[in-house]
Structure 1
């Protein structure tokens, strides 16, 4: 599984857990309602944006939902006080 497939798997699991459309998950994580859909159609993503998005999903993961198996979960980011 490549990085984009991993990101899409995480995004779909997040959307299902939250009961939202993938476009809403895309808005929350990327600030763009169409990016995840475009990635499903073969679009690419920059490495730093990928890393930031995976970290966003990790930091905002629903408490009672398992992280998708086989995908490394980024460490939670420390919030500055």
Structure 2
């Protein structure tokens, strides 16, 4: 009986250590990086934008990120994009989306900016 109690206590300690750093108490459970999961959505929106506008990915990259190779580098994993820049890029796409094109259904669309904000 004492062995069973000790085993249960030890199991609880091990489970807690797996979830929290023993020194800092930080959560160690696996999580999804919101930026990393947002990049495929961004690329999906870029693909739909290029198709709707009849432009190349390099042209879209120039328009959205001021660099013709940026989106290709992000797509290949050779480059990354920060949270703020990703949000700005998604906002740009939303503000400049062709009226006759459907926004990708699996991607959350940012609200369109006021006309004076979209011109920036």
Q: CA RMSD in A?
A: 1.5
Show structure 1 runs of 4+ deviating over 3 A. Answer: none
Q: Provide structure 1 residue ranges, at least 5 long, that are not aligned to the other structure.
A: none
Query: Greater share of helix residues, 1 or 2?
Result: 2
Higher relative contact order (CA 8 A, sep 6+): 1
Q: Provide structure 2 residue ranges, at least 5 long, that are not aligned to the other structure.
A: 1-35
Deviations 1:44-69 (A, max 9, x none): 10100000000000000000000001
Alignment partner of 2:62 out of 27, 32, 47: 27
**Bigger-Rg structure (1/2):** 2
Alignment partner of 2:98 out of 51, 55, 62: 62
TM-score by structure 1 length?
0.93
TM-score by structure 2 length?
0.64
SS across alignment from 2:94: helix
Alignment partner of 1:7 out of 23, 42, 49: 42
User: What residue in structure 2 maps to residue 44 of structure 1?
Assistant: 80
Q: How many residues align?
A: 81
